[in-house]
Amino acid sequence: MIGKDCVLDHVAIAVKDLDKSQRIWEDMGLSFSTKREVVESQGVTTAFAQMDENAHLELLCPYGENGPIHKFLEKKGEGIHHLCFKVKDVVAKCDELREKGYTLLNEQPINGANNCLVNFIHPKSTGGVLVEVSQKKA
């Protein structure tokens, strides 16, 4: 699944308090974008910090009461939520993964943060890790 056409885009951390969590990571030396994005369809507010030339740290805070991050925090508490890999063609990658027996959470890619199309691979298919594949929209 990982190769020259696939790079780490971000590590996502579920948090209860975006401001408090952002300060922690800033104390580690990261600089966050001033832009925060609400993705209503996923019930989340995001904040991104660049880690290197490709990868970011994404903080995920619940927006509303019923989104997946809210449920994740209730069950597991704060912590790493998923890894995201940037791919050239998210639809083709999803088709390829399905053919290889992976279970995807969505039938087709959905709109995600940062103007991307995304889909998630169920953790039962990846040894317990939620994996996101993402493609920047044109």
Asked if 89 and 138 touch (Cβ cutoff 8 Å), the reply is no
104 in Cβ contact with 32 (< 8 Å):
no
Question: Which one-letter DSSP state was computed for residue 109?
Answer: -
The count of domains in the chain is 1
Examine residue 31 and state whether it is found in any structural domain, yes or no: yes
96-98-103-105 Cα dihedral, nearest 10 degrees: 70
Confidence of residue 66 (pLDDT cuts 50, 70, 90): confident
Q: What is the pTM of this model?
A: 0.89
CATH number assigned to the domain comprising residue 79: 3.10.180.10
pLDDT in the model for residue 138: 82
Tell me whether residue 116 is in a domain: yes
Residue 30 CA to residue 16 CA, distance in Å, equals: 19
Strands (E), the chain: 6-14, 32-39, 44-50, 56-62, 79-87, 110-112, 116-121, 131-136
Give the Cα separation of 22 and 50 in Å (integer): 13
Residue 136 CA to chain centroid, in angstroms? 13
pLDDT in tens, 26-40: 999 999 999 999 998
Q: Is residue 1 part of a domain?
A: no
Q: Print the domain residue range for 34.
A: 6-136
CA 38 to chain centre: 13
Residue 57 lies in a domain: yes
Rounded distance, CA 31 to CA 77, Å? 24
pLDDT tier, 4 (very low <50, low <70, confident <90, very high otherwise): low
Mean pLDDT of the 52-77 span:
92
Q: Is position 47 within any domain?
A: yes
